[in-house]
Amino acid sequence: MGEASKKNQYLTKIFLVMLVFWIALSGFFIPFMLGLGVISALLVTYMVYKMDFHKLRDNTIEIDLIKVPVYILWLLKEIILSNLRVCFIIIKPELKISPSISKIKTDLSNDAFITIFANSITLTPGTITIDAENKELTVHSLDISFKKAIEDNVVHNKIKSLENKEYSGK
């Protein structure tokens, strides 16, 4: 299959995804709205074409899509539990907290997974990623319990399990 053919297939997929997305979000099926959807999808497809996004396809990550919903549910659970711990600290001001900053090294395969890792830490109350550079995160923790949770690599290992080993060559 030639380069032009691959590019056309990619742009066709972009157009169809954008059109379906427009229709799903608009909820209107009258000709005028469908026409606006087609125009919007064409505009996005044209911008993708002009920005040569099709050349970035070689840099995409492969995620094990079956594990993504499990990860999202686990992350939501962790966010809720951390919220409760932070609320408890706020309600009981006599509790001693020990804020700290720590460096966390990672062996995740690429920047996208490192970003997911950093954002997962930041989404969890009581912790925030200050910096991510050279496969190392700088994390601020509100208390030692939050720091221990990060250093135990639970979040890291959950994200590592999202990597699709079949495609990443591992």
Interhelix angle 144-151/68-91, rounded to 10 degrees, is 160
Same domain, residue pair 97 and 161: yes
pLDDT in tens, 101-159: 999 999 987 888 899 999 999 998 999 999 999 899 999 999 888 888 888 888 999 99
Same domain, residue pair 76 and 160: yes
Same domain, residue pair 82 and 37: no
Domain around 162: 68-168
Same domain, residue pair 38 and 72: no
Model's pTM, two decimal places? Answer: 0.64
Q: In angstroms, what CA-CA distances link 45 with 10, 15, 38, 50?
A: 10, 6, 10, 9
